[in-house]
Amino acid sequence: MKRILLIIMCVCVASLSLVAKESRRPVAAKHLFIEAPDDVFPMIDENTRLDMIDYYESEHNRPSLSVFDDSCIVTCSDSMCIEIKASDVLHYQLSIPVYDIIVLISTHSIPMPDSEIAFYDFEWQALSTEKYFTEPRLSDWLTDEGVKCREDVENIVPFIVASYNFDVDSGVMTITNRLREYYDNNTWQKVSKWIRPQLTYKWIGKKFKKQ
């Protein structure tokens, strides 16, 4: 009897293991883009997303129209990342650095590119950004000269404008300072000595770490 129970238990464990492996099969970034709820990509409905993928994978990639009649197009797509131009001023980068975590970077160009980052699970439930990424503070951007002139920096630089780009293959996210497009030449000559041009973060399994 004990032997039969043991066999049954082994079969159950093996079955559960197979189910777990099946549920953890890789999901292509394009499928997550298509299946995203409307509030994530409110200007691109599901049918339009399907068309965008079809056009991208066809011989002739051409734009579709968003709900606001903006041209939207997939500019890059592989199993781990998809990039979408949703309009002339909005770009998305959806990446999968690890199973069950989606990194979504939204970049608005009005006029200089400025990015936001958000995290979701594969059911598109929002995850706490603070758990995976700490947004750089002014002190992270300061050069050695900027540290010495911090009071002047704070008076002239009210905020940092920066664009994000995540290379999921290397695990490196580059954050680029876009203040050059905000200031006139004279002011920029002064500011550029205080603020670093770029910061880099590395995905280390479950979060981004500043390099």
Q: What is the pLDDT of residues 187-203, one digit of tens each?
A: 999 999 999 999 999 99
Radius of gyration of the chain, Cα coordinates, nearest whole angstrom: 22
What are the tokens at 12? 């159950």
Cα distance between residue 141 and residue 138, in whole Å: 5
Q: pLDDT-based confidence at 21, cuts 50/70/90?
A: very low
pLDDT score, position 59: 84
Question: What strand order describes the sheet that includes 90-98?
Answer: 64-65, 71-77, 81-87, 90-98, 101-109, 113-120, 126-127
Q: Closest Cα to residue 175, out of 151, 150, 149, 211?
A: 211
Q: Is the pLDDT of residue 151 over 90?
A: yes
What are the tokens at 102? 């989606």
Residue given tokens 């580059």 in the structure block = 174
Cα distance between residue 98 and residue 134, in whole Å: 18
> Which of the residue ranges 9-23, 84-98, 108-122 would you say has the lowest mean pLDDT?
9-23
pLDDT score, position 58: 93
> Which of the residue ranges 20-24, 29-33, 114-118 would you say has the lowest mean pLDDT?
20-24
pLDDT score, position 110: 85
pLDDT score, position 27: 83
Exposure string over 60-73, b if 16+ CB within 10 A, otherwise e: eeeebebeeebebe
Cα distance between residue 80 and residue 197, in whole Å: 27
